[in-house]
């Protein structure tokens, strides 16, 4: 396949072939994610993080360094020229003359799209407000591909938690629909998957189950994708406690699940997964975090035109 995309902004931009193309490259690069390489020797990647992030920023940083490149950048808006009133557009025009690629996280939706229209060097969206986070989706797909015994198209994936506001789940649901996976959306009534996404899936003929009871989805699931329910979404703290408690995974709660079930979580977790589950054969969330490195190596090397 001839991959001609210059920037990575939204999962929705991709075809299934393009996603597979990136995941194949990640697989080839995975050994280098531990041992290192010189693929990006002499290249500089700017990581512009206007909002805090631990995993995403550090895994991009690691990905660049595992390929022999270097990073420049900042990790909060307060340490950038934004505090002096500089626009993102100006910052991008300046940084594109320093770096070979730009990784951007910003609080405003559409920031990465705008940056990509300005920048001559590739822009990778590392999260734009409540918008997109395409490399998270890529690493989620990569985790399913590596850790499940069936191809993604045959999986039953239960996505659990805040499905209304969670940006990772919207992108993930869209990507899984490209593979025709079976999807269960498990959420409290007030945090259901937006109707626009449900309608889109139904139009495409995707097999969907919507429920507020975790047990309904658990026994059939091959993948349990947990997400955090944020306290601030509930005006009443008691209501939050009740809801959060009902979507919490414990060893007892995992009785009767499929033997091959894997549990994923984009992290950070709070109470959704009890620490006792970490040692179970189902837990994959830390492995999932690691897969962020080869996937981001794939994306960076691809956009910078490095043959792998």
Partner 1 sequence: MTEKRELRVKPIVNGTVIDHISGGQALNVLKILGISSRSKYVVSVLMNVPSGEMKGKDVVKIENRELDPEELDSIALIAPKATINIIRNYEVVGKHRVVLPKEVSGIVRCGNPNCISNTNEPVASRFMVEPAGEEVQLRCSYCEFVIDQDIADHLL
Residues that bind partner 1 (CB under 8 A): 10, 12, 87-89, 106-111, 113-114, 117, 128-131, 196
List the one residue out of 206, 207, 165, 168 whose CA is nearest residue 187: 165
Nearest residue (CB) to partner 1, 71 versus 125: 125
Contacts of 234 (CB under 8 A, 6+ apart): 240, 243
Nearest approach, Cβ of residue 134 and partner 1 (Å): 13
Nearest approach, Cβ of residue 177 and partner 1 (Å): 16
Known catalytic residue: 133? yes
Q: Which of 4, 84, 203, 252 is catalytic?
A: 84
First to last CA, the chain: 14
Nearest approach, Cβ of residue 56 and partner 1 (Å): 19
SS3 assignment, position 175: helix
Nearest residue (CB) to partner 1, 48 versus 160: 48
- Give the largest CA-CA distance in the chain: 57
Number of Cβ within 10 Å of residue 166's Cβ equals: 23
Q: Which of 43, 105, 132, 192 is catalytic?
A: 105
Nearest residue (CB) to partner 1, 106 versus 133: 106
Known catalytic residue: 105? yes
Q: Which of 11, 56, 135, 168 is catalytic?
A: 56
Known catalytic residue: 56? yes
- In angstroms, rounded to a whole number, what is the distance separating the alpha carbons of residues 75 and 47? 8
Known catalytic residue: 55? yes
Nearest approach, Cβ of residue 81 and partner 1 (Å): 14
Nearest approach, Cβ of residue 53 and partner 1 (Å): 18
List the one residue out of 136, 285, 295, 293 whose CA is nearest residue 223: 285
- In angstroms, rounded to a whole number, what is the distance separating the alpha carbons of residues 254 and 22? 33
Q: Which of left, alpha, beta for 128 (phi over 0: left; psi -120 to 50: alpha)?
A: beta
Known catalytic residue: 70? no
Nearest residue (CB) to partner 1, 104 versus 295: 104
SS3 assignment, position 180: coil
Q: Which of 5, 16, 55, 164 is catalytic?
A: 55
Contacts of 5 (CB under 8 A, 6+ apart): 13, 14, 18, 303
Nearest residue (CB) to partner 1, 95 versus 111: 111
- In angstroms, rounded to a whole number, what is the distance separating the alpha carbons of residues 40 and 65? 8
Catalytic residue IDs:
55-56, 84, 105, 133
């Amino acid at each position: 396949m001839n991959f001609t995309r210059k920037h990575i902004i939204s999962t929705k931009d991709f075809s299934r072939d393009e996603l597979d193309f990136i995941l194949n490259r990640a697989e080839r690069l995975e050994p280098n994610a531990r041992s290192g390489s010189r693929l990006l020797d002499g290249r500089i990647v700017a990581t512009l993080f206007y909002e805090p992030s631990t995993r995403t920023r550090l895994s991009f940083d690691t990905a660049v360094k595992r390929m022999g490149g270097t990073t420049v950048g900042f990790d909060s808006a307060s340490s950038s020229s934004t505090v002096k009133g500089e626009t993102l557009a100006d910052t991008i025009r300046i940084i594109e003359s320093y770096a070979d690629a730009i990784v951007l996280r910003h609080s405003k939706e559409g920031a990465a799209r705008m940056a990509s229209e300005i920048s001559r060097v590739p822009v990778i969206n590392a999260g734009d407000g409540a918008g997109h986070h395409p490399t998270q989706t890529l690493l989620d797909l990569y985790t399913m591909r590596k850790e499940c015994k069936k191809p993604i198209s045959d999986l039953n994936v239960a996505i659990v938690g805040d499905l209304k506001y969670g940006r990772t789940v919207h992108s993930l649901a869209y990507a899984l629909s490209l593979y025709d996976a079976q999807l269960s959306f498990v959420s409290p009534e007030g945090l259901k998957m937006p109707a626009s996404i449900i309608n889109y899936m139904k139009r495409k003929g995707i097999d969907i189950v919507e429920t507020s009871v975790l047990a309904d989805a658990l026994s059939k699931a091959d993948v349990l994708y947990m997400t955090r329910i944020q306290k601030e979404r509930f005006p009443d703290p008691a209501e939050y406690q009740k809801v959060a408690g009902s979507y919490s995974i414990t060893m007892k709660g995992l009785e009767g699940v499929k033997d091959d079930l894997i549990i994923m979580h984009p992290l950070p977790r709070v109470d959704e997964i009890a620490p006792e589950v970490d040692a179970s054969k189902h837990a994959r969330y830390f492995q999932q975090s690691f897969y962020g490195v080869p996937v981001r190596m794939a994306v960076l090397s691809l956009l910078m035109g490095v043959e792998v």
